[in-house]
Amino acid sequence: MAALAALWQRGTELLGTQHAIMGGAMSWVSERNLVSAISNAGAFGVIAASSMPPELLDKEIKATQAMTQKPFGVNLILMHPQLEQLMDVCIANKVTHVVLAGGIPRGPQVEKLKAAGIKVIGFTPTVAIGKKLIKMGIDGIVIEGMEAGGHIGPVSTSVLAQEILPVLRDVPVFVAGGIGRGEAIIAYLEMGASGVQLGTRFVCANESIAHINFKNAFIKANARDAIPSVQYHPDFQVIPVRAINNKATEDFTRFQKETVEKVFSGQMDKDAGQLAIEHFWAGALRKAVIDGDVERGSLMAGQSVGMVQCMQSTQEIIDELVSQASLYLTK
C-alpha cells in the first residue's frame, strides 16, 4: 500500500482523496448516489452535469453534499449553452473541483473557477493542447483513449499514454479508457501518470441507479460487443460513440440515412440535420439507463465491459482495484 500511495501521491493530493481513482462522468449514471458512494469509498466521484439546467445541477450538488463529506467534482460540458451559469452554481456551492470536458476551455473560464478556489481539470488528446491547458493554469489533465465508452477519439489509451505522459510533467495526469483492473492502473502510474479515471466498472455498482436491464447487459457483454458508431455520410460529421451493439446501433445508421435524405431533398436545412444527428444518443441513453430499454436504448460502454462480471458495492470495486494494484507491486 505504501508503494502505491507513493506512485499516485500527486493525484491523491490534487483530489484530496485516499485513492487517485476518478469516477468517469456518465450521463444519467454519475449522479448523487454513485458519486457519493465513490467518494465515500476513498476515491473521487464526479457528477455528470451533461445537459442539466443550472437549477437541476444546484439540487444535484446539494444532494451529493448531503451524502458525503469527502471531495467530489462536477463535470461540465464546454458546449453547454448555460456554461457560465453552471460555473456560477459550482462556485456558489463551494464545489472543490470542476472537470471541463468536450473541448478546449477559454482562459477566462479557467481563471473564473480558479479565482473561486476551485481546482480545474481538463482533457487533452495531444501534447500541444495539454501544454496550452497548463499555460491557462489548469490543475490536472485527463487523457482518454478510444477504448472508453460514450463519445471517443481516434487514438488508443496506450498510445496516448506513451505520447503524453513522458512530456506533460507540470501537472498530475490521469489516464482513462479501457481500465478495468488494478494491474493496468500500476502500468500507467509507472509510466508517469498520477492517477486513473474509470467509468464502465462503476455502472454495475449497487449504488448506481442504472436500470437492472442495463446492468445485466453489461454483465453479459464482452469487450468485442462494445463497438463505435459509424458515420453514414462524409458531409455530416459524427463523433463516434462506443456502446454495446444492439438495435439502437442499427437505428442510428438508419436515422443518419433518413436525415441526410431530408436535407438533400430540401425538407430540412443542413444545420438542423447535423443537430438532429448529434442529439440522437442523448435520448437513446436515457431510454436504456433509466427506462431499461436495452434494445432501442444506447448501451454506452467501454471495452473494459468484459471485466464487469457481477454487481458489487462501490467499496468492493475500489477495494478490488487497490488490492490488485498493491499485489502486483509486491511481485
Within a domain: 214 = no
Within a domain: 196 = yes
Number of helical H runs and strand E runs in the chain: 13, 11
Let me know whether 29 and 107 are in one domain. Answer: yes
| Confidence at 283, pLDDT banded by 50, 70, 90 | confident
Of 71, 81, 77, 121, give the one whose Cα is nearest residue 103. 77
Domain of 117, CATH number, reads 3.20.20.70
Let me know whether 146 and 103 are in one domain. Answer: yes
Mean pLDDT, range 252-261, rounded to an integer: 93
pLDDT at position 274, please? 87
Let me know whether 70 and 202 are in one domain. Answer: yes
Let me know whether 159 and 66 are in one domain. Answer: yes
* Low-confidence winner among 27-36, 94-103, 109-118, 275-284 (lowest mean pLDDT): 275-284
Residue 173 to residue 167: CA distance in whole angstroms: 11
| Structural domain for 37, as ranges | 2-209+311-330
Eight-class DSSP state of 310: S
Let me know whether 126 and 273 are in one domain. Answer: no
Let me know whether 146 and 283 are in one domain. Answer: no
pLDDT at position 277, please? 87
Q: What angle do CA 296, 301, 303 make, to 5 degrees?
A: 130
Let me know whether 186 and 260 are in one domain. Answer: no
pLDDT at position 276, please? 87
Within a domain: 306 = no
Within a domain: 34 = yes
Let me know whether 21 and 96 are in one domain. Answer: yes
Let me know whether 270 and 203 are in one domain. Answer: no
Within a domain: 217 = no
Let me know whether 138 and 60 are in one domain. Answer: yes
The tally of domains found in the chain comes to 2
Let me know whether 12 and 59 are in one domain. Answer: yes
* Low-confidence winner among 12-16, 94-98, 280-284 (lowest mean pLDDT): 280-284
Let me know whether 131 and 263 are in one domain. Answer: no
Within a domain: 305 = no
**3-class secondary-structure state, position 284:** helix
Given a cut of 80, whether residue 282 has pLDDT beyond it is: no
Q: Using one digit for the tens of pLDDT, what is the confidence trace for 30-50?
A: 999 999 999 999 999 999 999
